[in-house]
Amino acid sequence: MSDHVHDLRSVREATERLLTAAAKLDNAALAGGSHLPGWTRGHVLAHLARNADALVNVFEGRPMYESAAARDADIERDAGRPLEEQLADVRDSAARFMATTEPPQDWSRTVELRNGITDLASNVPFRRLVEVELHHVDLNVGYELADLPGEFTEREIVFLADRWSGRPEVPPVTLTAPADDTDGTDERTWHTGGPEGAPVTVTGPADELLGWLAGRGAKGARLSVEGGPLPALPAL
Q: How far apart are CA 97 and CA 75, in angstroms?
A: 18
Low-confidence ranges of the chain (pLDDT < 50): none
pLDDT at residue number 127: 98
Nearest to 59 by CA among 133, 112, 2: 112
What does 111-159 look like in DSSP terms, one character per residue? Answer: EE-GGG-EEEGGGHHHHHHHHHHHHHHHT-SS--GGGS-HHHHHHHHHH
Query: Residue 203 pairs with which residues in a beta bridge?
Result: 176, 224
Task: Render pLDDT for 129-174 as a digit per residue (tens, 0 to 9).
Answer: 999 999 999 999 999 999 999 999 999 999 999 999 999 999 999 9
Nearest to 48 by CA among 61, 34, 60, 59: 34
